[in-house]
Amino acid sequence: MLGLKNDVNLLADYDPSWIDAYAEEKARLDVALGDIAKAIEHFGSTSVPGMRAKPILDIIVGVSPFEDWERCKAPLESIGYDFVANAGIPRHHIFGRGRDLTERTHILHVVDYDTEEWSLNLAFRDALRNDAALREKYIAEKEHAAAVAPEGRARYTALKSSFISGMKGRLASIMRPFTRA
């Protein structure tokens, strides 16, 4: 089941129904956003089979030009998302939704499509999907973060950030010769 109260950091065992929940949400997003979205991907821990995760779907929407993110606001609000101003992730415009305002079931990131930022988020997801040892290391990081910060998303995220940025740095050094910046 999807959903977690705001500011609570609780990991759940992987649930295969998360894939179907994403497919249903993607269909809703395709209709709402139309050609504004160049691509829509399931990219958080719930997209990685076997990964313990907060039971919240993380979705990334690519737009180009990046200024088109503003064209996403009204369509997303029309299907229950709210804009999270000052979310603290550079060049990510964050929207969330839940059954009510006290929880989140979905977090949506609007980013610049076909850039290194877009590619690194998907490469990190794919590395976790394909490397059991990396997945286990990341699960340990997440479990530690949830234990140290059972409340407060900012602290939980900060505790995981060096692992994520280190992994994305390694991925970037491999990818750079093959992608445009």
pLDDT digits (tens, 9 = 90+) for 2-36: 999 998 999 999 999 999 999 999 999 999 999 99
Enter the pTM of the model: 0.91
pLDDT digits (tens, 9 = 90+) for 47-77: 999 999 999 999 999 999 999 999 999 999 9
| pLDDT confidence of residue 90 | 80
For the beta sheet containing 82-84, the strands, ordered from the edge strand earlier in sequence to the opposite edge, are: 39-42, 57-63, 106-112, 93-97, 82-84
The b-or-e profile of 33-65 (16+ CB within 10 A means b, else e) is beebbeebbbbbbbbbeebbbbbbbbbbbbbbe
Rounded to whole angstroms, how far apart are CA atoms 153 and 7? 5
Q: Residue 181 — pLDDT band, cuts 50, 70, 90?
A: very low
Which range is least confidently modeled, 32-41, 48-57, 80-89? Answer: 80-89
Q: What is the pLDDT of residues 99-154, one digit of tens each?
A: 988 999 999 999 999 898 899 999 999 999 999 999 999 999 999 999 999 998 88
Count CA within 13 A, CB hemisphere, residue 41. Answer: 21
**CA–CA dist 125, 36 (Å, integer):** 23
